[in-house]
Amino acid sequence: MRSSHRTKQPTEQPTELLRDVALVCLAGGIVGVSFGAIAVAGGLPVWVPVVMSLIVYAGSAQFSAVGVLLAGGGPLAAAATGLLLNTRTAAYSLAVADVLGRGRLARFLGAHLVTDETVAFALAQPDPLRRRTAFWVSGIGLFTTWNMSVLAGALAGGALGDTARYGLDAAFPAVLVALVLPALRADKRVRRAALPGAAVALAVAPVVPAGVPVLAALSGLAALYRRKGAA
């Protein structure tokens, strides 16, 4: 007992998971309020951000699609930008395919909950059971808070004024930093692929359409094979 006091007790883990999920939900809620508010303050009707959040359910794609609409880019460009950004969810869904569960219903419902946050949450867990629990608890929690907060933000709309004033655009990248840090800390190979990948994404960002930079980052995976020679 004494020697293992730094090890987490099994009974503590559900509480810890719930606490972490609640905090990520809070963060997602802040981003959701700003999404709803930005959309409505920009002149879109309340149902646009609300319906989009329910059936698209992908924060960055929603921001981009609404951004294109508000900039006068038209529905086709808005859909194309959002879809391009969401191609990464195909890779995510492959990464967590065995996490969702065996049943047909679990897989079809779980697929809709595959987001940046739930995947990062699941992959941060050390074993399959905790990965599954983390995915579902964070998935259901985030889906609920995201949609409620988008509705709240949309109803508040213009009353919030210029949302850039609150610095909310820094919230989503900061959430991602907190979520990927455990994976980056734990695995040197992941760092060796992710850091050059991010550099590639930043380098091409000024010259390619939205969504492409993130996909270009996958070239960083080549770093995993370089040093092994005949990989």
Partner 1 sequence: MTATFVMILALAAGTYAFRLVGPVLHGRVDISPRLQDLLSTGAVVLLVALLATGALTEGGHFAGWARPAGVLVGGLLAWRRAPFAVVVLAAAGATALLRAAGVA
Q: Among residue numbers 6 through 25, which ones bind partner 1 (CB under 8 A)? A: 20, 23-24
155 counts as binding partner 1 under rule CB under 8 A: no
86 binds partner 1 (CB under 8 A): yes
Least Å from the CB of residue 143 to partner 1: 13
Based on its alpha-carbon atoms, the radius of gyration of the chain, rounded to whole angstroms, reads: 19
Contact call for residue 41 and partner 1 (CB under 8 A): no
Which residues, at least 6 apart from 116, have a Cβ–Cβ distance to it below 8 Å?
59, 60, 92, 176, 179
Out of 78, 137, 150, 160, name the contact with partner 1 by CB under 8 A: 78
Among 1, 55, 129, 159, the residue binding partner 1 under the rule CB under 8 A is: 55
Per DSSP, 221 falls in state G
CA distance 130 to 122: 8
Answer yes or no whether residue 76 interacts with partner 1 by CB under 8 A.
yes
| Alpha-carbon gap, residue 174 to 27, rounded angstroms | 9
List the one residue from 16, 18, 155, 181 that touches partner 1 (CB under 8 A): 181
Does 91 help bind partner 1 (rule: CB under 8 A)?
Answer: yes
Total interface residues for partner 1 by CB under 8 A: 95
- 38 belongs to the binding site for partner 1 (CB under 8 A): no
Contact indicator for 39, 154 with CB cutoff of 8 Å: yes
Rounded distance between C-alpha atoms, residue 18 and residue 14, angstroms: 6
- Residue 39 interacts with partner 1 (CB under 8 A): yes or no: no
Q: Is 33 in the site for partner 1 (CB under 8 A)?
A: no
Number of residues that make up the chain: 231
